[in-house]
């Protein structure tokens, strides 16, 4: 199961009803945070999650609304007696930026490992999932992220019985382990069917529409994309400041043939993004305005063809469980 939560959906500055854009992803006990602006740890606290177990923090770029919450987050991790190393990934200049922010968070009981991107596209593997970073088009160096999880084929008990594979080996073989028993080697391909369709999430913010987004988001189960401006008269402003409109996000989702679109990173002036969703759904019907905590409405919707659920509820971020 892949659990996805928008901790915040605002751009530029936190508001009383909207935290700055940040995403938390959890899978098999691993936690990944994308961006950490001012107030991110408060949003996490409202969700009931702890920052202590975060394994990886990914930064899209180094504007303050995406990274200024890092010192406080690191100190909170340290106060929770974390000792495991933390991996931080992001554009070139990451190490310098993190070290500068650590001037006010100098003493930590854990090490920080910084990985800077050297290419326009780069792939990193972390315990059963892949993080693919790809460059987008903002007024500073900026990257989007795709997180992919491969799924092995289904276990075939009939094949296992026909080959006389001992019952006690079935479980480790199903988990992908190669086993040796009584001088014979047993491999997962002996009992697993064809690989199943995996899970794919793409997240991008602070950018103009680019070919790299379409290519990397292609076929994603969930595409989370910035929608800085919903108003039709803000198109020139989006071009000037290298952001996107709701319609442009909808066109990207359609071209990439994703399953579902969530919008995020709203301008502070955009107080009711749902009022502009019709223009997006005319282009891409399965589009939703991302929401963060302190919303009173709760609703559930079945995923189109993945059997997924997502929920928006009070004190919860927009959340989706992908099984």
| CATH number of the domain encompassing residue 263 | 3.60.15.10
Distance from C-alpha of 140 to C-alpha of 173, rounded to nearest angstrom: 47
- Mean residue pLDDT of the chain comes to 88
Q: Does residue 245 belong to any structural domain of this protein?
A: yes
How distant, in Å, are the alpha carbons of 47, 84, 191, 249, 250 from that of 286? 25, 40, 38, 12, 9
Residue 289 burial class via C-beta count within 10 angstroms: exposed 0-12, middle 13-18, buried 19 and up? buried
- pLDDT for residue 97 is more than 90: yes
Ramachandran category for residue 255: left, alpha or beta (phi over 0 → left; psi -120 to 50 → alpha): alpha
Mean pLDDT for the stretch of residues 142-159: 90
Say if residues 9 and 21 touch (Cβ distance below 8 Å). yes
Query: How many angstroms separate the CA atoms of 235 and 306, rounded?
Result: 34
Residue 267: band (very low, low, confident or very high) from pLDDT cuts 50, 70, 90: very high
135 found inside a domain: yes
Lowest model confidence (mean pLDDT) among 48-62, 91-105, 306-320: 306-320
Please report whether residue 167 resides in a domain: no
pTM listed for this prediction:
0.84
Query: Is residue 186 in some structural domain?
Result: no
Q: Is the pLDDT of residue 320 over 90?
A: no
What per-residue confidence (pLDDT) applies to 205? Answer: 95
Q: What is the pLDDT of residue 286?
A: 97
Which two three-digit tokens encode residue 285?
Answer: 């019907």
Tokens 């709203």 -> residue: 266
Lowest average pLDDT, out of 43-52, 69-78, 206-215, 286-295, goes to: 286-295
Q: Is the pLDDT of residue 79 over 60?
A: yes
Give the pLDDT score at 194: 82
Distance CA 161, CA 272 (A): 59
Indicate whether 190 belongs to any domain: no
Confidence of residue 292 (pLDDT cuts 50, 70, 90): confident
Residue-number span of the structural domain to which 202 is assigned:
2-152+195-322
Q: What is the pLDDT of residues 152-185, one digit of tens each?
A: 788 889 999 999 999 999 999 988 889 999 899 9
Stretch 314-318: mean pLDDT: 38
> pLDDT by residue (tens digit) across 98-126?
999 999 999 999 999 999 999 999 999 98
Can you count the helices (H) and strands (E) in the chain? 10, 18
Report pLDDT for 117. Answer: 96
Q: Please spell the DSSP secondary structure of 122-189, one letter per residue.
A: EEEEETTEEEEEEE-BSSS--EEEEEEEEEPPPB-HHHHHHTT--GGGHHHHHTT--EEETTEEE-GG
Q: At what angle do helices 70-79 and 94-101 cross, to 10 degrees?
A: 70
Above 90 in pLDDT, residue 10?
Answer: yes
Q: Which residues are catalytic?
A: 65
Residue 294's pLDDT band (cuts 50, 70, 90): very low
309: pLDDT strictly greater than 50: no
End-to-end CA distance of the chain: 5
Burial profile 77-116: b = 16 or more Cβ within 10 angstroms, e = fewer? bbeeebeeebbbbbbeebeebbeebbeebeebeeebeebe
Is 61 in contact with 35 (CB distance < 8 Å)? no
Of all residues in the chain, the percent with pLDDT exceeding 70 is 90
Residue 136 has pLDDT above 60, yes or no: yes
Residue 255's φ and ψ, nearest 5 degrees, are -65, -35
Predicted local distance difference test score (pLDDT) of residue 196: 73
Residue 207 inside a domain? The answer is yes
Q: Is residue 182 part of a domain?
A: no
- Contact partners, residue 18, CB within 8 Å, separation at least 6: 8, 9, 10, 266, 292
Whether 160 is covered by a domain: the verdict is: no
- Grade residue 48 by pLDDT with cuts at 50, 70 and 90: confident
> How many independent structural domains does the chain possess?
1
Q: Which of 23-27, 93-97, 124-128, 269-273 has the lowest mean pLDDT?
A: 124-128
Reply yes or no on whether the pLDDT at 81 is more than 50.
yes
Count the neighbouring beta carbons within 10 Å of the beta carbon of residue 313.
16
């Amino acid at each position: 199961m892949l659990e996805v939560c928008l901790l915040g959906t605002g751009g530029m500055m936190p508001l009383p009803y909207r935290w700055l854009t940040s995403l938390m992803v959890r899978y098999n006990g691993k936690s990944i945070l994308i961006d950490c602006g001012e107030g991110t740890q408060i949003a996490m606290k409202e969700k009931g999650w702890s920052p202590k177990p975060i394994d990886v923090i990914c930064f899209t770029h180094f504007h303050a609304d995406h990274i200024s919450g890092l010192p406080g987050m690191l100190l909170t991790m340290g106060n929770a007696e974390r000792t495991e190393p933390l991996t931080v990934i992001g554009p070139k200049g990451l190490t310098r930026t993190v070290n500068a922010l650590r001037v006010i968070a100098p003493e930590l009981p854990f090490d920080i490992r910084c990985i800077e991107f050297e290419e326009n596209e780069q792939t990193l593997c972390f315990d059963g999932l892949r993080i693919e970073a790809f460059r987008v088009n903002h007024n500073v160096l900026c990257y989007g992220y795709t997180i992919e999880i491969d799924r092995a084929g289904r276990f075939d008990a009939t094949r296992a019985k026909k080959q006389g594979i001992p019952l006690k080996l079935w479980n480790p073989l199903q988990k992908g382990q190669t086993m040796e028993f009584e001088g014979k080697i047993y491999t997962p391909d002996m009992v697993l069917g064809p690989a199943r369709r995996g899970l794919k999430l793409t997240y991008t913010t602070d950018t103009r529409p680019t070919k790299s987004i379409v290519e990397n988001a292609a076929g994603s189960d969930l595409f989370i994309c910035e929608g800085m401006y919903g108003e039709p008269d803000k198109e020139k402003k989006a071009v000037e400041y290298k952001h996107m409109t709701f319609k442009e996000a909808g066109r990207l989702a359609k071209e990439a043939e994703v399953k579902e679109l969530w919008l995020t990173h709203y301008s502070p002036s955009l107080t009711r993004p749902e009022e502009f969703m019709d223009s997006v759904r005319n282009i891409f019907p399965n589009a939703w305005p991302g929401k963060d905590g302190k919303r009173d409405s709760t609703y559930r919707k079945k995923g189109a063809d993945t059997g997924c659920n997502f929920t928006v509820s009070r004190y919860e971020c927009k959340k989706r469980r992908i099984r």
